[in-house]
Amino acid sequence: MNNVNVLFCFDSKFWRMAAVSMESLLSKCNDTTRVKIYCMVAPGTEGHEEIEKIVKSHKTGIGLVWREIKEEENPFQNYEFSRWSPVIFYRCIAHRIFKDIDKILYLDSDILVCRDISELFNTDISDYVLGGVRDMAPVNDKYHPQGILIRNFSEKYLNNGPYINSGVLLINLKKIAEYENLLFETKVPLYYPDQDLLNAAFVGKIKILPLKYNLAPGIPVPTIFKPDEVHEAMLGGHVIIHCYSVKPFDYEHAPEQLYKIFSEHATNIGMDPKMFLEQEKQHEAKRIKDTFIPNVKIQNNMILFYHDGEEIKIKI
């Protein structure tokens, strides 16, 4: 029997997306795989009863641990440290909260699991702090803004080494506890906050995993990936789809097959797929928006930009 530990971190805004992700995870497990789901959530997060019901409805689910993280428990609580919610840093402190387990698989809330994950979980990372897949940013495209950003980050802080995406992380909880000081001693500008920090803090201590474990639909696969892993992932061998580049509930813009997968899992747990799109529209007004000026953004009545690695906010 394969016992697998899986971690989700979210707040009330994302609990429904996390629930769909968990449904996809549990429904794709083999008969020999058993999953214990750990949730690190913001205080007052909704969805506990609903998610517990989902876990109990599958024979592959062997338990749910729901843990609210108090503000004083999160050393990254200071909002100025991140242009996103401090919740994104929960994955960095899982070792402090779950001291009785050695390894856990972290998944973002916008993940859809397409195959059994026991092979991924059982990957040997005993000599590493983390296991992760390289980010799909086009770092070889000298004109692409995201590619430029990550390529420059790699040159400055990773010795030109690989830069991983933090949406899927196999975490060696004992090792990260051993090297925890690096999370606080590493001083780099954080554009993609938790992701930049984890890459820079644990450079040389991250095992690179195949593309099939973190495939983003709608993004051309850059040449940094080996042909054989691209071939496997693109021809139906993908295990995890990471929907950060496309909204799987947007039936007008999402790939048809992706929308079908999302809709199936959402419907299975009694959620109307259209509800997600309506909620997304409601949040859109509050979202940080790009401007025609590079690296200058607008959020509500604030202009946001970076200077010497620090985020500057100016009220309009």
Q: Tell me the per-residue pLDDT of 242-292, one tens digit each, with 9 for 90 and over.
A: 999 899 999 888 999 999 999 999 999 999 988 887 877 666 555 555 666
Show the tokens assigned to 151: 């390529």
Q: Which residue(s) pair with 67 in the sheet?
A: 40
Residue 167 CA to residue 199 CA, distance in Å, equals 13
The answer to whether the CB of 29 falls within 8 A of the CB of 57 is no
Element (H, E) at 145: helix 145-157
In this predicted structure, what is the pLDDT of residue 85? 83
**CATH 3.90.550.10 segments of the chain:** 2-245
**Mean pLDDT value across residues 119-141:** 95
The CATH homologous superfamily to which domain 2-245 belongs is Spore Coat Polysaccharide Biosynthesis Protein SpsA; Chain A (3.90.550.10)
pLDDT in tens, 302-316: 666 666 555 666 656
**Mean pLDDT value across residues 56-60:** 97
Mean pLDDT of the chain: 90
**Mean pLDDT value across residues 80-84:** 60
**Mean pLDDT value across residues 150-175:** 96
In this predicted structure, what is the pLDDT of residue 279? 77
In the block, which residue shows the tokens 């100025």? 80
